[in-house]
Amino acid sequence: MSDTQYIGIFDSGLGGLTVAKSIIHTMPEENILYFGDTAHVPYGTKSHKQIRELAVNDVRFLSRFPLKAVVVACNTADSVAMGTLQEQFDLPIFGVIEPASHKAARTTRNNRIGIMATSATVRSGAYEKAIHRYNENAQVFQKACPLLVPLVENGRYRKDDPVVQIVLKEYLDELTANGIDTLVLGCTHYPLLSEAVQSIVPELTVISSSEAAADALKRGMKELGLCETEGDGIQHYYVSDDAEHFEENARVFLGEDMKATAELAQI
Ligand code: DGL
C-alpha cells in the first residue's frame, strides 16, 4: 500500500459511506480509505468533549496510511471537532458542513433555511455560523432529529414506510411552519430519507450534505493540486467493531450494487 496515497474518510459508523459513495462517484480515480468508528457510534448524542477525542483518534488511525487529504464525513464530528483536527494534524482536512451551508446560502430565495441534524450538531450551532458567513440575511431554523439515525440503521427509510412518514412529518412540521424554502439534510444518514422528505414537502429544495461535500472536495483538491488524473481508484474499508456485518449493513449506505468488505482496525 505504501506507494498509494489515499483520501482518508471517517465517520462515527457507516453513515459516512453516503459521503464516500458521492466521492467515489465524483472522483473515481482517487484511492479511498474509509474508517467507521462502529465501536462508538452514535456520536450525535455524546458530549462535545468526547466527540473531539474520538475524532482525533479516528484521524490518528487514518494517519497510519499515506494520506493526501482527510474528509470528516460526519456532520457531528465536523460541527464539534474540525478546529481541533486542523490544529493537530498537518493535512488538508475537508468537512461536510461548510459545503452544504454554502450551497444552502446560495440556493434559498426567501432567506429561510431549515437544518435537520443530530442533537450535538444542532447544539454546536455550526450550520448557522457557516450559513451566515455566506448569507448574513439568512434565517436558520434547526431541528434535532434523534429518531432518524436509529430508523435508517434499522433499514426504515423508504418513502412508503408509515413509521418514516409519521416521524419525518413531526420533525418537518416545525421547520415548514417557519416558512423555509430550503432544507439541509445535515447528517450522514439523512440522504437516504431524501425521497421520503420530498414526498412530504415536494416544494422544498433539499440539499444533501454528502453530495455537497464531494463536489467541494473535488474543487478543494484541484486547487491544492492533489487530484489524480487517471486510473481507477481502490477502496479500503476499516471499522472499529463488527467487521463481519459490514458488507450487509454497508449496502444500505453505499447502494445495493456496491459490494464492500471491511477489516477490523486495531486501534
Ligand atoms: N454521522 C453522524 C452525523 O452525520 C450521524 C450518526 C451519529 O450520531 O454518530 O451527524
Express each pLDDT in 165-196 by its tens digit: 999 999 999 999 999 999 999 999 999 999 99
- pTM reported for the whole predicted model: 0.94
Q: Is 232 helix (H, G, I), strand (E, B) or coil?
A: coil
Probe target for ligand 1 pocket from 19, 50, 74, with the most ligand atoms within 8 Å of CB = 74
pLDDT in tens, 123-168: 999 999 999 999 999 999 999 999 999 999 888 999 999 999 999 9
Atom of ligand 1 nearest to the CA of 118: 10
Q: Which of 149, 187, 193, 206 is an active site residue?
A: 187
Identify which of 40, 71, 34, 70 has the alpha carbon closest to the alpha carbon of residue 54.
40
- Our answer on whether the CB atom of 17 is closer than 6 Å to any ligand 1 atom is no
Decide: 204 and 183 in contact? Cβ < 8 Å: yes
Q: Is residue 227 annotated as a catalytic residue, yes or no?
A: no
Residues of the chain with CATH 3.40.50.1860: 6-95+212-264, 97-209
Identify which of 27, 23, 26, 25 has the alpha carbon closest to the alpha carbon of residue 9.
23
Atom of ligand 1 nearest to the CA of 76: 10
Residue 1: band (very low, low, confident or very high) from pLDDT cuts 50, 70, 90:
very low
For 6-95+212-264, CATH number out of 3.40.50.2000, 3.30.470.20, 3.40.50.1860, 3.40.50.10860 equals 3.40.50.1860
Q: Is residue 145 annotated as a catalytic residue, yes or no?
A: no
Decide: 257 and 53 in contact? Cβ < 8 Å: no
Identify which of 43, 47, 104 has the alpha carbon closest to the alpha carbon of residue 75.
43
Probe target for ligand 1 pocket from 118, 119, 252, with the most ligand atoms within 8 Å of CB = 118
- Read off the pLDDT of each residue in 214-230 and give the average, rounded to a whole number: 93
Report d(CA 144, CA 129) in Å as an integer. Answer: 16
- Our answer on whether the CB atom of 27 is closer than 6 Å to any ligand 1 atom is no
| Separation of CA 118 and ligand 1 centre (Å) | 7
Residue owning the nearest CA to atom 2 of ligand 1: 74
- Our answer on whether the CB atom of 118 is closer than 6 Å to any ligand 1 atom is yes
Q: What pLDDT, on the 0 to 100 scale, is given for residue 248?
A: 85
Topology given in CATH for the domain delimited by 97-209: Rossmann fold (3.40.50)
Q: Is 100 helix (H, G, I), strand (E, B) or coil?
A: helix
- Our answer on whether the CB atom of 18 is closer than 6 Å to any ligand 1 atom is no
> What grid cell was written down for 98?
461548510
Q: What pLDDT, on the 0 to 100 scale, is given for residue 230?
A: 84
